[in-house]
Structure 1
Amino acid sequence: MLSDKQKEIILSTVPLLRTGGVALTTHFYNRMFTHHPELKNLFNMGNQQSGKQQTALAMAVLAYAENISNPAVLMPAVDLIGHKHVSLNIQPEQYDIVGTHLLASIKEVLQDLATDEVLDAWKAAYGQLAGLMIGHEAKMYEGKQQTNGQWVGWKNFKVQRKVQESKEITSFYLVTEDGSAVPNFIPGQYISVQVFLPNINLNQIRQYSISCAPNKDYLRISVKRERNEKFDINGMISNFLHDEVHEGNILSISSPAGNFTLQNMYPKKVFISGGIGQTPLMSMLESLDQSKENSELVWIHACRNEEVRAFGNRLETITKENQQVKQHQFYEVVNETLAAKDVYEGMLDFSKIEKWQFEPEAEYYICGPKPFIEKAVKELTDNKISEKHIFFEEFGPKSI
């Protein structure tokens, strides 16, 4: 247990973390990877390359320090991270490695400011957090072991079908290699996929939302190809999947995880997506459409143009067959043949949608790039939509 004195010491380091948190976490990752290069197979080296992971960890450490007297307020974040850790098969002993190098980094970066009292306080604080995380994740692992079709760690799946959904997005239909049952999941969840990248001689793991409704036959992930001239390691993985993984090939995946899922507080659901952010929302929409419940469903999607839009035909079929589903599409560039349909030119703009109303008794699900999510959330809250009715998922390290 942390003493009151130790809590005061942790709080006194908050200003240092605000100004120097990223320098600390950058030093920490460099130190840990030097001593444990095998962990590069576990961590997202693309996010290391871009600095996103260092920033995300600095924000997390700061949030923990600021709330050291009441860590219970961080339970939503603990649950979010716990799902990610379970999908990566993180084990308790790996927390010891992180703790060793985090404390050493505090000493090396803060130097004279890292007194014995400060180090003892942070050792106790990290021990408290690690214990909280390990306990939470242990319950999640136990749940997977007790649930039919779920598993802990990695399992081989075969690519049954590979379908091009748009100019940039390809779907992979996955079935178990051993013929066992496809796991059930909650719409909105993701799986981790582990691939070996010869270019960097490392295994890398990425999370991909399941883009279909739960069914007994397959899991579907839909991957956007990154086409930047200087794409990072994340781009290497998307291109590897598009170019090197074919029907009949084997992929190693984790069982479904994630807490960005349907809440079912109100019958009306509004799905708001940007680009590849539509994948978890597609799973939710398909699931609700198949359930035939009397729910009003609104689909709002924004992307660059018709060429890069995925699932267009599937959405057209759903909206024709289910009068409860309405869809609205935003393209940055609209050609003349689309102008007459429910297609709007420009970025997401609720005011362009005919008869649009911000309804307080509805659920709003948002997924897309960080600026897209922030803009949509702000517009909803500015129009009296409670934050309790807004749910979003940001792909990559959390920065919102």
Structure 2
Amino acid sequence: MLQEKTIAVIKATIPVLEVHGEAITRRFYERLFEAHPELLNVFNINNQRQGRQQAALANAVYAAAVHIEKLDAIIPVVKQIGAKHRSLGVLPEHYPIVGEHLLGAMRDVLQESATDEIIAAWAEAYGIIAQAFIDVEKEMYEEAVKQPGGWEGLRSFRIARRVKESDVIDSFYLEPLDQKPIASYQPGQYLTLQLKAPGVDYAQMRHYSLSDSPNKSYYRISVKREDERDATPGGLISRYIHSLAVGDTVEVAAPAGEFIIEENNHPLTLLSGGVGMTPFMSYLNTAAERLSNRSIVWIHAALNGDVHAFADESNQLAQRLANLTKRVVYERPTARDEQEKRFDAKGYITADVLREAGFRPDGLFYICGPESFMRAMYRLLTQLGVKEKNISFEFFGPASSIEAQAVAN
């Protein structure tokens, strides 16, 4: 428990964090990588370059300050981030390193405003928050190892099969080199791959949703190739994965993730954009195998049919699941899309599209796709009266506040 004096000091720093939060986190990462360049193996280079990791950490520090009187409020976020930490190999000994450089960054940026009292208060708070992460992650590490087919750290897998799903998305079927059983998972979870692309000094870790039902002899992930376009650089690692062939090996951490789409009797609506359909493919394949009679609405948005992955497989799922209502929305359909009537609506997912598909505001809603897509869907659902507690979302950039950004935009 934090002392009352500590709480008061930290709450007094909230206005400062609003102004200087990102400057502090930028300086933090500079200090961290200068002292410990080996940790570049853990962090996404693109997110660092684009400032997304710095902004996300600033949001997390700000949230900790706002909820400092009741840190239990951030436990769901701790579990979500903790799952990614476990898959990345973050260990208890890393937390003192992070604490040292975060406090050092506060001193560097705030200078004389960072009094000994403020630094001491944040040191005390950081110790409690870090311990919450360590405790949650300890359980996750133990679960990953002890489950049937589980393992510790990284395990070598062979690309056994590769399937082109669209112009930009390929599926990779991964089988363990040791030919031993592999851990099961829950629909919505992901694999973490460690990859060393040519010309890059450090290995990179990336998360990819599992896109098939569990309890098979392989894992399937489906990866979008992020090409360079306009002024936006391409995805270094996604392009590297697309250069791999059948027979190549990759290093893989055991399945993880808190975006779990559980089977129950609540009406379910799945909203996906682009490659964000992958966790829903896992769920729907699982539901079809279990002969689920749950009421499900699935609305998928894509640019057009050329980049729409799993079109045939999703149509087959719709035939197998009698209570599945599936709708496809293309932003800019091609002439072929128009001719073959490969979509149900043109433009974007709107309130009318939701209502036509059987919108139930009292149901459960899961969103996955680009961050801008999720902000738009979150805003739309809340405007239509859906309670925030009934909306779940997943994306693989740094942790961000989809809710706050949706309201602001």
Normalised-by-shorter TM-score class: over 0.9
The answer to whether the 8 Å contact 1:194/1:253 transfers is yes
Post-superposition Cα deviations, 1:35-65, rounded to whole Å, max 9, x if no partner, equal 1111111111110010000000000000001
Partner Cα separation in structure 1 for residue 52 and residue 373 of structure 2 = 18
Q: Which residue of 2 aligns with 1:272?
A: 271
Q: Which residue of 1 aligns with 2:86?
A: 86
Q: Scaled by the length of structure 1, what TM-score is found?
A: 0.95
Give, in angstroms, the shift of residue 333 of structure 1.
2.0
Q: Which residue of 1 aligns with 2:406?
A: none
Give, in angstroms, the shift of residue 152 of structure 1.
2.1
Q: Which runs of 5+ in 2 are unaligned?
A: 403-409
- Residue correspondence of structure 1 range 112-191 to structure 2 within 5 A: 112-191=112-191
Post-superposition Cα deviations, 1:167-213, rounded to whole Å, max 9, x if no partner, equal 00011000111001121000000111001122222100011111111
Partner Cα separation in structure 1 for residue 98 and residue 356 of structure 2 = 53
Q: Which residue of 1 aligns with 2:220?
A: 220
Q: Which residue of 2 aligns with 1:382?
A: 383
Letter in 1 for 2:194: Q
Q: Which residue of 1 aligns with 2:346?
A: 345
Partner Cα separation in structure 1 for residue 139 and residue 399 of structure 2 = 23
The answer to whether the 8 Å contact 1:188/1:209 transfers is yes
Q: Secondary structure at the match of 1:330?
A: strand
Q: Which residue of 2 aligns with 1:76?
A: 76
Partner Cα separation in structure 2 for residue 374 and residue 91 of structure 1 = 32
Greater displacement, 378-387 / 304-313: 378-387
The answer to whether the 8 Å contact 1:170/1:223 transfers is yes
Q: Which residue of 1 aligns with 2:319?
A: 320
Post-superposition Cα deviations, 1:233-268, rounded to whole Å, max 9, x if no partner, equal x7110000001x110111001000001011345343
Q: Which residue of 1 aligns with 2:301?
A: 302
The answer to whether the 8 Å contact 1:28/1:101 transfers is yes
The answer to whether the 8 Å contact 2:267/2:360 transfers is no
Letter in 1 for 2:332: V
Q: Which residue of 1 aligns with 2:405?
A: none
Q: Secondary structure at the match of 2:174?
A: strand
Say if 2:369 is the partner of 1:359. no
* Cα RMSD (Å): 1.6
Partner Cα separation in structure 2 for residue 120 and residue 34 of structure 1 = 24
Identity of aligned residues (%): 39
Q: Which residue of 2 aligns with 1:66?
A: 66
Post-superposition Cα deviations, 1:282-328, rounded to whole Å, max 9, x if no partner, equal 11111111110211222211111100000011011122233222211
CA distance change for structure 1 residues 355 and 235 in 2, over 3 Å: closer, same or farther? closer
Give, in angstroms, the shift of residue 357 of structure 1.
3.5
Q: Secondary structure at the match of 2:196?
A: strand
Q: Which residue of 2 aligns with 1:285?
A: 284
Q: Which residue of 1 aligns with 2:205?
A: 205
Give, in angstroms, the shift of residue 373 of structure 1.
1.2
Q: Secondary structure at the match of 1:27?
A: helix
The answer to whether the 8 Å contact 1:267/1:294 transfers is no
The answer to whether the 8 Å contact 1:358/1:380 transfers is no
Greater displacement, 360-369 / 43-52: 360-369
Partner Cα separation in structure 2 for residue 371 and residue 194 of structure 1 = 27
Q: Which residue of 1 aligns with 2:248?
A: 249
Q: Secondary structure at the match of 1:105?
A: helix
Partner Cα separation in structure 2 for residue 200 and residue 137 of structure 1 = 29
Greater displacement, 63-72 / 262-271: 262-271
Q: Secondary structure at the match of 1:254?
A: strand
Say if 2:165 is the partner of 1:192. no
The answer to whether the 8 Å contact 2:292/2:321 transfers is no
Q: Scaled by the length of structure 2, what TM-score is found?
A: 0.93
The answer to whether the 8 Å contact 2:86/2:141 transfers is yes
Partner Cα separation in structure 2 for residue 231 and residue 163 of structure 1 = 27
CA distance change for structure 1 residues 290 and 350 in 2, over 3 Å: closer, same or farther? farther
Give, in angstroms, the shift of residue 336 of structure 1.
5.4
Greater displacement, 311-320 / 19-28: 311-320
Letter in 2 for 1:281: F
Q: Secondary structure at the match of 1:26?
A: helix
Partner Cα separation in structure 2 for residue 353 and residue 380 of structure 1 = 9
Partner Cα separation in structure 1 for residue 356 and residue 301 of structure 2 = 19
The answer to whether the 8 Å contact 1:350/1:356 transfers is no
Q: Secondary structure at the match of 2:203?
A: strand
Letter in 1 for 2:92: P
The answer to whether the 8 Å contact 2:183/2:254 transfers is yes
CA distance change for structure 1 residues 274 and 210 in 2, over 3 Å: closer, same or farther? same
CA distance change for structure 1 residues 98 and 353 in 2, over 3 Å: closer, same or farther? closer
Q: Which runs of 5+ in 1 are unaligned?
A: none
Partner Cα separation in structure 1 for residue 130 and residue 390 of structure 2 = 31
